[in-house]
Amino acid sequence: MATHNGVSVSAKPWRIYLYGAGFSASRHAVAAGMIGHDVQLFAADPSKAARDALLAKFPRATVYDDAEAMLASSPGQERDIVIIAVPPYLHHSATLSAFRSNRHVLCEKPVARTDTEMAEMLAASDSSGRLFSECSFRYLGNGALDRARELIRTGRVGTLYHARFVNRQPRSRPGIEYQPESKWFLQKTKSGGGTVFDWGVYDFTMFFDVLRPVAATVHRAWLATPRTGADPTEFPISVETHAGATLSLTLEDGTVIPFDYERASGFHGEPQVALNVDGTEGGLTWEWVPTFDYKDEVDPLEQGFKLVHYFDADGKVEASEEKFAAFGWEDANLRPLLSFVDLIEGRSSEALSRDRLEFNFAVISAIYRCISQGNPVHVRMKA
């Protein structure tokens, strides 16, 4: 049994510190209540309204108006987790403060705005000896992803030669159609970026969980912000709402495949959703996010995530369809904290490894760098 300063770690309670008490924090607070009966919840937010709203849902929480005071209230322990649930422009400073307090850190996505911020956050984790994770893996834990990876590994798809991800939603912009009260989504200085940072981090985490690339090159990329009659009048939108990139991915076996990516939360055109992995012996497509009509009382397999394996049978294309247990949006929002606890405890976890976390962010960042520099950007996972 692990010990800390001569005291059994398992004898200590989990202490969850919410850095921010708003929308995202409340979801993590629900997850905190599922860790076990011996959990202490703390939250800090300068907004009295946010603190009062959180206390109304979680009356046993201890709240502060200052995060530094919360972190200084007691020395950090092995079972302490700080959850960074504030807008991205505060992630860097909040994470560094949390590591200085000698606690593990789970940060909301996007984890950082720049490569420099990310490097300093990882360095702070190293120097503190505490673990660092973020929330882009909340849609993993889906059996369709595991099955897709198995079909590829066992040669059922043959040699991969192409992958594609397209998700075009004409009007689903955070800060306008979604969470309209959170205008920081629309300001690059506060959000770090638009739809690539907002949903792209999920897209790449999911796709890379299946394909497991060890290197990537962003050859070309583009960003656009189509105007609409619903745009705010008090300030211009400074983030992209439609974006795309052409990449090549180097897989673990050395195979290099092109990857075509497009994501839109606001544009003038046809809604489209497509996800494909193409190989010489077959092709794959699968579902990976909960549906809005998910119902807890329905058998998860009846409304489950679908995977389709296409293959040749005597010259004709055949399709084998499988379903895997579904989960709802709230289940997905529980996953980051519960999986991070598993990681700290040394159990199997959906939380990304340090190397994968760093690589995935570097690829997202490379899309923006490719545009600003006008040249391809190469990223390789550290050994």
- SS3 call for 94: helix
- Residue 322, number of CB atoms within 10 A of its CB: 15
End-to-end CA distance of the chain: 30
Contact by Cβ (8 Å): 1, 9: yes
- The H-assigned helical ranges of the chain are 23-32, 48-57, 67-71, 91-100, 115-128, 143-153, 188-191, 195, 201-211, 329-345, 354-373
Whole-number Å distance between alpha carbons of 58 and 140: 27
Query: What pLDDT does residue 361 have?
Result: 98
pLDDT tens-place string over residues 221-237: 999 999 999 999 988 99
- Domain layout of the chain by residue ranges: 3-134, 143-380
* pLDDT at 103 > cutoff 60: yes
Q: Vertex 34, ends 128 and 60: CA angle to 5°?
A: 85
* pLDDT at 101 > cutoff 70: yes
- Portion of the chain with pLDDT greater than 70, in percent: 94
* pLDDT at 4 > cutoff 70: no
Q: Vertex 285, ends 279 and 290: CA angle to 5°?
A: 155
Q: Vertex 142, ends 248 and 180: CA angle to 5°?
A: 80
pTM, entire model: 0.93
| pLDDT, average across residues 180-200 | 96
**Residue whose C-alpha is closest to residue 333's, from 118, 141, 145, 51:** 141
**Residue whose C-alpha is closest to residue 268's, from 232, 227, 315, 300:** 227
Whole-number Å distance between alpha carbons of 336 and 106: 8
Whole-number Å distance between alpha carbons of 152 and 252: 12
Whole-number Å distance between alpha carbons of 222 and 113: 18
Query: What pLDDT does residue 9 have?
Result: 46
- Residue 160, number of CB atoms within 10 A of its CB: 21
Query: What pLDDT does residue 17 have?
Result: 98
| pLDDT, average across residues 3-25 | 76
Looking at domain 143-380, its CATH architecture is: 2-Layer Sandwich (3.30)
* pLDDT at 309 > cutoff 70: yes
- SS3 call for 178: strand
**Domain 3-134 listed as CATH 3.40.50.720:** yes
* pLDDT at 255 > cutoff 90: yes
Query: What pLDDT does residue 322 have?
Result: 97
> Helices (H), strands (E): how many in the chain?
11, 17
